[in-house]
């Protein structure tokens, strides 16, 4: 099956390529100057450092302005991705409707599913209307996640790495991907082992419809289920592994705890839960300042709660054992605190892993 691609007019391609170039300038040159300015400021904590940088560092003022507004340049205006995709919404909907008719048993949507307030009250990543309102949202998110990964490098690599790491280490026969979006991790898992039963769970029907289209195009048998990861309508002790990728920074801490407890319920004894996210912000006060600034500037209201939580303690509190935090892309042990500020602006990717007691 050939891959369905939305139409990206030439004007939008030029505009978006300009925004990408500006983002690279922001994450390299502007960030480097901010890091140098921060190193010269003796500040007791992240709030004091933020105030000092705002006062004394033109680079920091530019950095903050670009961090907030580049997202808006991406989504809004004549060549923003939202108007571009909304302008072809009927074609996008037709493509998803046609996919929904193929292997319909693999796509289980729940039109009556209540969406939590923490999900609907904040525009995810400044994406106006979030990722759950209509079909255009799913294509906007897919495009943004691939063209603007936070590292601005190969957007698929960490997904492929995590899928291979989990498949080789645990050899699960079945895995649930909680907060699966349009299916990047679930598809990577299925590609690792075609015998693995993979189910993607998400709140957003448009994303699941797109995930279904993409898995059909790839010839992969994956089930997509619209549900809240806090209460998944599947039996207890029914899967070997549960994974999540970029889910927990979207959740308030009590909801994160509930998802961990739900993962424990769903797992067979001895099963694993692995969650990829930005659990660490290396670089001491400067790292914390930039991380909290990112949360404020990019509509990430729950990120401060995540960074204040030790993920290993949270996993143990939910009942997991053999809990460890590992660096993504290497699998080496990671510390929740410590480490140097990165050379260019990026998030530090880590994975917390725990086992359900056998």
Ligand X SMILES: C[S@@+](CC[C@H](N)C(=O)[O-])C[C@H]1O[C@@H](n2cnc3c(N)ncnc32)[C@H](O)[C@@H]1O
Using CB under 6 A, list all residues that contact ligand X. Answer: 119, 131, 145, 179-181, 184-185, 201-204, 207, 228-230, 245-247, 250-251
Q: Which residue lies nearer to ligand X by CB, 60 or 165? A: 165
- To the nearest whole angstrom, how small is the minimum distance from the Cβ of residue 301 to ligand X? 13
Q: Which residue lies nearer to ligand X by CB, 133 or 316? A: 133
Residue 106 is classified by DSSP as G
Q: Which residue lies nearer to ligand X by CB, 184 or 265? A: 184
Q: Which residue lies nearer to ligand X by CB, 79 or 294? A: 294
Q: Which residue lies nearer to ligand X by CB, 86 or 155? A: 155
Between helix 284-297 and helix 58-75 the angle, nearest 10°, is: 40
Strands (DSSP E) along the chain, which ranges?
Answer: 107-108, 174-178, 197-202, 223-226, 239-245, 267-280, 321-327, 348-355
Q: Which residues contact 169 (CB under 8 A, 6 or more apart)?
A: none
Q: Which residue lies nearer to ligand X by CB, 251 or 325? A: 251
- To the nearest whole angstrom, how small is the minimum distance from the Cβ of residue 230 to ligand X? 5
Bridge partner list, 355: 272, 321
Q: Which residue lies nearer to ligand X by CB, 34 or 178? A: 178
- To the nearest whole angstrom, how small is the minimum distance from the Cβ of residue 184 to ligand X? 4
- To the nearest whole angstrom, how small is the minimum distance from the Cβ of residue 315 to ligand X? 18
CA angle 335, 338, 340 (to 5 degrees): 120
* DSSP helix/strand/coil, 57: coil
For residue 209, CA distances in Å to 10, 90, 135 come to 27, 14, 8
- To the nearest whole angstrom, how small is the minimum distance from the Cβ of residue 186 to ligand X? 8
Q: Which residue is nearest to ligand X (CB)?
A: 181
- To the nearest whole angstrom, how small is the minimum distance from the Cβ of residue 48 to ligand X? 31
Residue 344 is classified by DSSP as S
Could you count the other beta carbons within 10 Å of the beta carbon of residue 228? Answer: 22
Q: Indicate the helix (H) or strand (E) that contains 132.
A: none
Torsion angle of the four alpha carbons 236, 242, 247, 249, in this order, in degrees rounded to the nearest 10: 90
- To the nearest whole angstrom, how small is the minimum distance from the Cβ of residue 191 to ligand X? 15
Backbone angles phi, psi at 251, to 5 degrees: -115, 145
Do strands 239-245 and 267-280 pair parallel, antiparallel, or not at all (unpaired)? parallel
């Amino acid at each position: 099956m050939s891959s369905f691609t939305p139409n990206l007019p030439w004007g939008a391609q030029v505009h978006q390529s300009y925004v990408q170039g500006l983002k690279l300038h922001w994450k390299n040159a502007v960030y480097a100057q901010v890091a140098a300015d921060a190193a010269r400021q003796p500040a007791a904590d992240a709030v004091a450092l933020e105030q000092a940088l705002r006062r004394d560092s033109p680079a920091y003022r530019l950095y903050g302005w670009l961090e907030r507004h580049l997202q808006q340049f991406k989504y809004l205006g004549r060549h923003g991705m939202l108007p571009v995709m909304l302008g072809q919404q009927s074609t996008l909907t037709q493509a998803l409707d046609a996919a929904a008719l193929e292997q319909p048993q693999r796509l289980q949507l729940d039109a009556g599913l209540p969406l939590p307030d923490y999900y609907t009250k904040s525009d995810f990543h400044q994406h106006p209307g979030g990722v759950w309102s209509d079909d255009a949202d799913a294509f906007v998110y897919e495009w943004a996640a691939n063209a603007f990964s936070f590292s601005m490098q190969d957007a698929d690599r960490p997904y492929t790495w995590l899928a291979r790491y989990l498949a080789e280490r645990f050899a699960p026969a079945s895995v649930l991907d909680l907060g699966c979006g349009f299916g990047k991790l679930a598809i990577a898992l299925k590609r690792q082992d075609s015998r693995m039963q993979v189910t993607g769970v998400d709140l957003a029907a448009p994303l699941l419809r797109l995930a279904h289209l993409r898995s059909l195009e790839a010839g992969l048998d994956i089930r997509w289920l619209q549900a809240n990861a806090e209460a998944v309508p599947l039996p207890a002790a029914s899967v070997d592994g549960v994974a999540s990728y970029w889910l927990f920074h979207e959740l308030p801490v009590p909801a994160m705890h509930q998802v961990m407890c739900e993962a424990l319920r769903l797992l067979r004894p001895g099963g694993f839960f692995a969650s990829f996210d930005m659990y660490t912000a290396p670089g001491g006060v400067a790292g914390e300042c930039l991380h909290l600034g990112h949360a404020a500037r990019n509509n990430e209201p729950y990120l401060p709660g995540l960074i204040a939580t030790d993920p290993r303690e949270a996993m143990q509190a939910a009942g997991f054992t053999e809990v460890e935090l590992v660096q993504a892309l290497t699998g080496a042990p990671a510390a929740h605190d410590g480490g140097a500020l990165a050379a260019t602006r990026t998030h530090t990717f880590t994975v917390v892993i725990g086992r359900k007691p056998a």
